[in-house]
Every structure is written in C-alpha cells, then in structure tokens.
Chain A
Amino acid sequence: MQPDLSDEPLLPAEVKLITWSLVLGVVLLGLLVWVSEAFFAAG
C-alpha cells in the first residue's frame, strides 16, 4: 500500500494554517526567549 499522490492544491485554509503557525512560532520565539532570560534565569 503506497500513500496517495496528490493533485490536491493547497487550499486557503491550509495556507493560513501553515502561515499562522510559522509567524506565531517566530514571534513567540522572541517573546519566550525574553521571558526565559528575564524571569527564569539559569540561576
């Protein structure tokens, strides 16, 4: 059993999911690094 190949184009909902996920990931990266350093220092 091989996985099906796709003629399915990326739908707007998929594009949104990918884009939001990556953008949120990058924005939160900065925020979480700051919170880690400011409030949860290595000690």
Chain B
Amino acid sequence: MDSKGVSEDWLSVWIGLLIFVLALGSLGGVDVLGWVVTTGVWSDLSKALNPVSKAYSGLGGMGALIATYLVLLVVMTAGAAALKADLKRFALGFTAVFWIGYLSWIAGSYANFAVTTPADMQRFGISWSLKLTNEGGFILALLAGLIVGNFFPGFAAWMKEAVRPELYIKTAIVLLGGFLGITAATQPVLAKSVLFRGLAAIVEAYLIYWALVYLIARRVFRLTREWAAPLASGISICGVSAAIATAAAIRARPVVAVMVSSLVVLFAVVELVVLPFAAEAFLVHQPLVAGAWMGLAVKTDGAAVASGAITEALLRARAAAAGITYQEGWMLMTTTTVKVFIDMFIGVWAFVLALVWAYGIRKDEGRTVSARDVWERFPKFVLGYFVTFTALLGLVVARPGLLDAAKLASAETNVFRVLFFVMTFFTIGLVSNFAKLREEGIGRLALVYVVCLFGFIVWIGLAVSWIFFHGMAPPRVG
C-alpha cells in the first residue's frame, strides 16, 4: 500500500473474502448473511423481494433491500477509504449505482421478461414471455448505464467516484469461486477436465491470436510497433489489463494504452449484447463450447463473465423448454476458468514482450527485466478466486456431510455476486461514451479492432473452444 491507497485489485480480494468468511458462518449453524435481498420472478411486485434466508423473513422484502443497501454502503465506503477516494462523492455515487442497478435487476425479473417454461407461464397467468430469464436484468442495467453515460453525461460525471466496473467484477469473481468450488465438488472428474481444457484453450489463444493481430496491424494497417503491440494484446488477450501491461512493457506513451482501452471497453459491450444470443442460436447442443467461447472472445473480465452468465441462463432456459435441466454453474465455470487463466498469463506475456523489446528491438543498454515485473502485473483478484474455489471444493470433498451447509453459504455469497454483477453491468454502460471516442479520432484504430475482432478473433475463439469442449455437457438434474 502506498500514498495512493490500496489498489482496486487487492480491495476486491479483501471485500470478496470478507463476505465469503461471513457466509461460512452457516457451516457452524450461524446464519450471518441471511438478511441479504434476493429477487424472484414476479408478476406482483409486492412479492418480488425477499431475504435470502427464511430465518430473516421478518425483515420483509423492502427491509432486506434497505439492509442490503446500508451494509454494502458501509463496506464499500470503507473500501473507498482504503482506495483514498473522496468518501462523500463515493457514497453518493454508490447510492445511485446501487439503486439504478438493482431497480434494473428487479425490472428484469418481471414475469413477461423472465419466464422460460410453459408451466411457469401458466403459473404466472401470462400468455407471452421474452424468455430472457431473470438475468435479462443484467441487460437492462447495461442499457440504463449506456443511456445515462451517453445522454446524461453530467449525472454520469457526478457519480464517477463510484463508477468502478473493475472493482465490482473482480469482487464478484472472488465470490464466484466458492459457488463454482461446490459445483466442482459434485462432479470432480468433469471439473478437472474443464480446468485442464480451459488452460489448454488459453495457451492456444495467446499464441495464435496475438501473433496474427500483431502481424495484421503492422503489415496490413501499417501501425507502428508502439500502437500494434498494445492493440494486439487488447484485442487478443484480455482487454484493458493486457493493453496497459503491454504498453508499460514496451514503454509506449500513456495515450496508447488509454485509446486502446477505450476501444476494448466499447467493443466488449457490443460483444456482450451480441455473442450470448449467437451462442443461444447456434450452440444450444454444445453448452460448454458456448461457455468457453464467451471467455475467449469477449474482452474485459466484466463483459466476459457477464456474457457467460447470460449464455448459461439462455442455454439452460432453452434446454429446460426441451425437458432437459442442466445443473447450474457449469457454463459459467467454463467461462470463468478460461478468463481467470487468461488473466494469470498477462504478466507472463508482458514479461516476454518486455524481453523482446528490450533485447531484440530497442537493444537497451543495461536494461533488466525481473520476475518482480511479472508479480506486479499479476492480477491479485485471481488469488481470491482460487482461495474461495479451493476452500469450498476441499471442504466438501474432505467432509461430504457439510455439503448442505456449504450450499447455504454459497447461496448467500451468490446473492452478493449477483449484486456486484448488476453494478458491473450498469457501470460498464456508464463508461461507454460513444461521443467521446469519436472526438478522440479513434477511427483507424477502431477499424483494425473491428476487422481483427469480428474477422477472426471471435471465430478462432469459437474453433479453439470447439476443439477442447465439444461433446461436453453439464450434469443433468433429475
């Protein structure tokens, strides 16, 4: 920690682990987090909200929502203090982010948006549904963010201190680890296979994607090395973090990383809106291919994991309509596994590029590149993810009798994970300011990005996903 405060990366680990440890109280029979609000599919708004645990049913839905807001406000404002942010502005901004995000989530759970099966349509007394599942609320949060970010820039600027999509998604991913750990514990052979194949898929993606994008940017679009390398990392690896790490590794000017990062965020939103529905249309019989594809093709952690969540919801709904109930979490686990491995290797790849630039291109005198450079660029939230993943996986494998208590703990952390997802979607929309990008004269760079992303990145990602995950499916329930 320095005078700038703790990084968002480390903060996400601490917040995620705090919630995770509190949720583990259920293993000892103490339900610490049962008051957190959850939203069910509704046609009568008064019945939409409830505390996640029956032990807190006296709170009522609105009481649970207000309690959730107040506790998160306190925790996140304490986190903002650690970041050395402006606390008053953060608290006000967070209030807006929370309420707009959660209202979008409630709206997305409206029966006509969310119901997926004929039986549920009958139960809610409706004759049609968009069948988006309640995770369609993520799309509404994104749209709300895009509207505010592009049409109400003054309001967006007012809440800027709390507009931290990276913090929210990294916290969500730390929490996701526990949920996926339990999922993995129920099918260890399949989980091991997903982990190895996820690692294999990203090795391929790194080696093939980066080289091709760099070659095309240099030879076809005649970009300089300073622009081509961060752009190749941004498009081919993992968006913002990779672009920034690469720009630092090759000592590019800061403007390069900023412009590439802007493009990454913008097009991640486009992918997020398009690719899950493409997966639903074409990969309904290859659910884990679809999950891996989201991890390989959609840039930025937030948009990728969010795409995995939407893809899983859409494909499970389609399968349910055909009478097949897939166990929840496997498609999302595949997306997350791929994405987390990609993040882990950003530091290694930046290290390789730093060596090539130092010794092969600039031929710097006395320049050294150390393992410390790799550690500094290592995304720390990945550590939090593995802690929660292995903790619950190890616990349930070692003590199978604790499965039900661990599931309750996981259910409670999962509600928080959804809350952080919703805030991620809303804030991703907020930072996607199309007019600003136009002003920056980003046209040529955007052309390279579009050509590479939709010309072959998306398709190579699909091919690699197919090679390693075709024929694999989540376990069926019932």
Residues of A bordering B, CB below 8 Å? 1-6, 8, 10-14, 16-18, 21-22, 24-26, 28-29, 32-33, 35-36, 39-43
Contact = CB atoms under 8 A, between A and B. Distances in A.
Nearest to A32: B200
Interface residues of B, number: 42
Interface stretch (B52-60, B135-143, B220-228): B220-228
A3 B227 contact: yes
A11 B224 CA distance: 12
Nearest to A31: B200
B207 A6 contact: no
Interface of B: 187, 189-190, 192-193, 196-197, 200, 203-204, 207-208, 210-212, 214-215, 218-219, 222-228, 255-256, 259, 356, 359-361, 440-441, 443-445, 467-468, 471-472
Given A14-B218, A29-B204, 19 more contacts: A1-B440, A2-B441, A2-B445, A3-B224, A6-B225, A11-B360, A11-B361, A18-B214, A18-B215, A21-B207, A22-B208, A28-B203, A29-B467, A33-B467, A35-B196, A39-B196, A42-B193, A42-B471, A43-B193
A24 to B, nearest CB: 5
B211 A17 contact: yes
Contacts of B444: 2-3
B441 A1 contact: yes
A17 B358 CA distance: 13
Contacts of B210: 21
Contacts of B212: 22
A6 B218 contact: yes
Given A14-B225, A42-B193, A3 B207 contact: no
Nearest to A42: B472
Contacts of A43: 187, 189-190, 193
B144 to A, nearest CB: 31
